[in-house]
Amino acid sequence: MSHASLKRLFDVFFASFGLLVLGPVGLVVSLMIKLSDRGPALYRQIRIGQFGKPFWIIKFRTMVVNADKLGLPLTKGEDQRITKIGRLLRKTKLDELPQLWNVLRGDMSFVGPRPEVPRYVGAYTPEQREILKYKPGITDLATMLFRDEEILLKGAKDVEGFYLKYCLPKKIELNLQYGQQAGLPQDVWIILQTLCPYWLGVLATYCIMLVGSFWLSYQLRFDFQVTGSAYAEFAWFLPWMVCLQLILLVWRKQFHGMLSYFSLVELRQMVAALAVALLLQLGLWYASNGRLAPPRSILATNFLLSLVGLGLLRMSLRLLRERFYREKTKNHELVQRIAVVGTGDEATRLALDLATRSGYRVMAFFDDDPRSWRTRPHGIPVVGMPECLLNAHWLQQLDEVIIALPSEKAERAEELARLLAESPLRVTIAGVQFAGRNNGH
């Protein structure tokens, strides 16, 4: 059976199943929208489909009635046209649910380039029009990477101009890459990634590791001969023990970055979170005289096993990432030349960490503060303002730019990432899987 036939069979089966199972959810959502402002629950808009054929896309209405007459087809984070319920639906992606009908009809597929409005398709170059060979979909590679597109557009003065100049070409490029290697396994993987954001996968991984550490603590405590009463005790304490650790790991920002990026900074955050959890658990044990918490030996063992288990997991993933990257680049340039934006603690620690690894060379710092210019943290020069990276000299001297600004300068970090999006440099915001980074180098 051809890929096209198999894909269509997959679409029909799961669209029918989804409409049947999720029908009650759709009815509840429709009722919520209707009661909120008395307007229609569904919204239809003309989009351009495969081979340039227009069709009506169906979504739950997330904006005020006649919103298309009040502004652009695009929305950004603070767009006043989005209703309160609409923001919730967009965040949970429930507004896309009616598109299962489009899939069943054959206008769309589960995975394929997101269909654009005629206004933007008319601006395609001849090369970009190649994307119209493919049937549009509910999700695609670009949808995952541009998951927070409204936030990305938030700071743009000319939203439509920014979208057409920076976002749309990148989306088309990603979808053309998908089209060249499309297959059912890739489709399933994209669907899973769309339904389960990266942070949710990190949360699930941490949860499994913490449950395993707690279970092993009981096994060691009873010399791998756990009795029925001990198992009952384990099951009783497990939920709140793991939930407490997860809450504190969230507090220490363990789910903000990628699992395979692990250094002393992340290790200190992990130790702090698990240590606070241990202190709270011990405090509860003493306060309740041992009735509301496991024995102290189990608490101490669980702390050590959780720390070692999570640390080894992340270090192993880091080594795998670095090994894969070395294999990928061994026939190209052996040394990755990097510039770091920022001169704060996080930036200098990151630069020092990279400088100790083989295959990396930190060439320079760039910073907004003129007082840091011409200094040399860890022997690495601070050249000047980040905009200097657009100088032809640095475009030739660098392979990657890592933006390591403190959290209070998040808007500046996003601004610099957008500024460098068209450069040949690979751009990464430290601790964030930035959707708009340029991977073309």
168-180 tens-digit pLDDT: 888 898 888 888 8
Mean pLDDT across 122-138: 91
pLDDT classification of 328: cutoffs 50, 70, 90: low
pLDDT value at 435 more than 60: no
Mean pLDDT across 187-214: 88
pLDDT value at 148 more than 70: no
What secondary structure does DSSP assign to 97-155, as a single string? TTHHHHHHHTS-EEESPPPPPHHHHTT--TTGGGGGGSPPEEE-HHHHHTTTHHHHTTT
Which range of residues forms the domain containing residue 382?
Answer: 333-429
Beta pairing, strands 109-111 & 137-139: parallel
Q: Which two tokens stand for residue 304?
A: 């050590």
Question: Which amino acid is it at 261?
Answer: Y
CA within 13 Å, CB half, 428: 18
pLDDT classification of 327: cutoffs 50, 70, 90: low
- For 164-270, where are the E strands, in sequence order? none
What is the total count of domains within the chain? 3
Q: Which residues contact 247 (CB under 8 A, 6 or more apart)?
A: none
Q: Give yes or no: residues 148 and 249 share one domain.
A: no
Each residue's pLDDT tens digit, 375-402: 888 778 998 899 889 888 888 889 999 9
Q: Domain end: 195, 211, 237, which one?
A: 195
pLDDT classification of 432: cutoffs 50, 70, 90: very low
Q: Domain end: 260, 289, 319, which one?
A: 319
Long-range contacts of 289-296 (CB under 8 A, 24+ apart): 293/237, 294/217, 294/218, 294/233, 294/234, 294/237, 294/241, 295/221
| 393 located within any domain | yes
Q: What are phi and psi of 134, to 5 degrees?
A: -100, 145
| 328 located within any domain | no
At 156 the pLDDT is 64
Q: Which residues contact 176 (CB under 8 A, 6 or more apart)?
A: 130, 131
Q: 427 versus 69: which is more confidently predicted?
A: 427
Q: Which two tokens stand for residue 353?
A: 């960490």
Q: Give yes or no: residues 55 and 172 share one domain.
A: yes
Mean pLDDT across 364-377: 86
Task: Using alpha carbons, list the distances in angstroms from residue 109 to 10, 64, 100, 115, 219.
Answer: 9, 28, 9, 11, 49
Span of 75-84, 234-243, 305-314, 328-337 with lowest mean pLDDT? 328-337
The CATH number of whichever domain residue 388 belongs to comes to 3.40.50.720
Radius of gyration of the chain (CA): 25
The DSSP H or E segment spanning 341 is strand 336-341
At 58 the pLDDT is 96
Each residue's pLDDT tens digit, 86-123: 988 988 888 999 999 999 999 999 999 999 999 999 98
| 327 located within any domain | no
| 437 located within any domain | no
| 325 located within any domain | no
Give just the sign of the alpha carbon dihedral 194, 200, 201, 202. positive
Q: Give yes or no: residues 378 and 265 share one domain.
A: no
Q: Give yes or no: residues 221 and 126 share one domain.
A: no
DSSP helix/strand/coil, 48: strand
Tell the residue number behind the tokens 């970009």, with chain if given.
128
CA–CA gap between residue 75 and residue 82 (Å, rounded): 8
CA–CA gap between residue 335 and residue 332 (Å, rounded): 9
- Average pLDDT over the chain, rounded to an integer: 87
Q: Domain end: 259, 286, 319, which one?
A: 319
Sheet holding 360-366, edge to edge: 382-384, 360-366, 336-341, 400-403, 426-429
| 424 located within any domain | yes
Question: Which amino acid is it at 228?
Answer: G
Q: 296-329 and 198-221 are packed helices; what angle lies between their axes, rounded to 10 degrees?
A: 140
CA–CA gap between residue 426 and residue 95 (Å, rounded): 33
CA–CA gap between residue 229 and residue 247 (Å, rounded): 28
Span of 98-107, 306-315, 320-329 with lowest mean pLDDT? 320-329
CA–CA gap between residue 395 and residue 149 (Å, rounded): 27
Q: Give yes or no: residues 267 and 130 share one domain.
A: no
Give just the sign of the alpha carbon dihedral 63, 66, 72, 73. positive
At 152 the pLDDT is 64
At 67 the pLDDT is 84
Tell the residue number behind the tokens 């046209």, with chain if given.
81
